[in-house]
Amino acid sequence: MKGWTICIEHNNQYRKLSKIQFTKEGGFSVIMPYHKERVGVCFKVPHDPVSFKDSKFEGFTPLNFISSYKASSRVKMTYHADGFVHFSSEEGGAIRSGRYPDGSPKGLGIFVAPLRTPITSGPSIGFLTWGVDDYDLLRHENNKSNFLKVRDCEAKSRRCSHDNFNAYQTEIFVFSHIHSRYIFTDALDRERLFLTFPDVERAFAWFSFFVIRIPNSMSFLGVLTHRVRASMHSPSGFNLTGPTDRRWSLMAMYPSAPKDFPIPTATVDYEPSTINVPLPETSYRRYRVRFHANYYIRTKNDVLWLPEQPLRDEHSTDDLNNV
């Protein structure tokens, strides 16, 4: 099955940012093979859907609760049709991956919405690329891949301008078959889709997606690439992030993480002697307690957050399980 190479027009040249490949059962993988860095850091990040939905707290816990792992080679993120999302090796089996007989991940993985009923609140996978002059040039197009070439005029600026941006943010949405009726072909014979999301960016903002079909699936991908301005910790690199299962999300950073992130205490490298031992994780227990008709978020370090609005009824339990 042919994959797709995502390219961006930068300084009048097309640079290759990433590749999308497909799995036999109707899933897809996002790979970052066009940057020179091979060594990076992977994270499993606790996520708090309650505070994320109802307050200014951005949904992620303090940095000391993040589980950090060294990666001696580049990882790819795969989203399987059944909703299993995980990191694995770009090539050669250098990263631990797969599932144990009981279905639990051998490496870094979570279970989210199946692709037949995809996430509807925003993107499923995203990556941030900076120092784009260090990425491989698109010198020729071969028959082994399809090429999505995003022109400079098609990459919109998000909270920045064309003069002060320093990175590109690419977001990959998954759409169910019911949106297929809205797909059209543009002047360059590329499949496109216009949709609006009430909770993404400003209220009811319209987005113009590039469409990528998933073989053996009724769902399809919508790709957005924006210019952004971000704080960087290296001259060039990339971040790769995945969806949340409302408890955890996965993230990878190359070549390294910012100084305030936790230092890796374990590795996701494949080691036969430890493959049957689950990866260590930072313990994190969350509670919600009722106080004056509002909910607070409490962690083990006794930090409290007060949502701006009372939480919805579906979040009425008083105790969240160990996660």
User: Which tens digit of pLDDT belongs to each residue from 108-155?
Assistant: 999 999 999 998 878 999 999 999 999 999 999 988 889 999 999 999
CA atoms of 314 and 195, how far apart (whole Å): 28
Least confident span in 21-30, 75-84, 213-222, 254-263: 254-263
Instruction: Report the pLDDT value the prediction gives residue 199, as an integer from 0 to 100.
Output: 60
For the chain, the domain total comes to 1
Is the pLDDT higher at 316 or at 227?
227
Q: Is residue 322 part of a domain?
A: no
Per-residue exposure over 94-112, b if at least 16 CB sit within 10 Å of its own CB, e if not: bbbbeeeeeeebbbbbbbb
CA atoms of 180 and 144, how far apart (whole Å): 26
CA atoms of 62 and 52, how far apart (whole Å): 13
Q: Is residue 313 part of a domain?
A: no
CA neighbours closer than 13 Å in the CB half-sphere of residue 111: 7
Q: Is residue 33 part of a domain?
A: yes
CA atoms of 277 and 85, how far apart (whole Å): 20
Report residue 98 as tokens: 């797969």
For residue 107, which phi and psi values (nearest 5 degrees)?
-115, -140
Mean pLDDT of 294-298: 41
> Tens digits of per-residue pLDDT, 237-288?
999 999 988 788 999 999 988 888 888 989 999 999 989 888 988 766 554 4
Q: Is residue 14 part of a domain?
A: yes
CA atoms of 321 and 323, how far apart (whole Å): 6
- Predicted TM-score (pTM) of the model is 0.84
* Partners of 221 in the β-ladder: 174, 212
Q: Is residue 300 part of a domain?
A: no
Do residues 6 and 18 touch, judged by C-beta distance below 8 A? yes
For residue 224, which phi and psi values (nearest 5 degrees)?
-120, 135
Q: How many residues comprise the chain? A: 323
Instruction: Report the pLDDT value the prediction gives residue 65, as an integer from 0 to 100.
Output: 78
Whether residue 296 is predicted with pLDDT greater than 90 in this model: the reply is no
Q: How many CB atoms lie within 10 A of CB 88?
A: 22
Q: Is residue 10 part of a domain?
A: yes
Whether residue 66 is predicted with pLDDT greater than 60 in this model: the reply is yes
> Tens digits of per-residue pLDDT, 163-193?
999 999 999 999 999 999 999 999 999 999 9
Q: Is residue 317 part of a domain?
A: no
Least confident span in 24-28, 49-53, 240-244: 49-53
Query: Could you tell me how far CA 222 lies from the centroid of its own chain?
Result: 14
Do residues 41 and 266 touch, judged by C-beta distance below 8 A? no
Mean pLDDT score of the chain: 83
Instruction: Report the pLDDT value the prediction gives residue 267, as an integer from 0 to 100.
Output: 95
Q: Is residue 316 part of a domain?
A: no
Instruction: Report the pLDDT value the prediction gives residue 61, as an integer from 0 to 100.
Output: 59
Looking at the chain, the number of H-run helices and the number of E-run strands are: 1, 22
Describe the strand order of the beta sheet including 304-305 as a list of residue ranges.
287-291, 294-298, 304-305
CA atoms of 116 and 177, how far apart (whole Å): 8
Instruction: Report the pLDDT value the prediction gives residue 198, as an integer from 0 to 100.
Output: 64
Domain of 11? 3-283
Percent of the chain at pLDDT exceeding 70: 80
Mean pLDDT of 90-112: 92
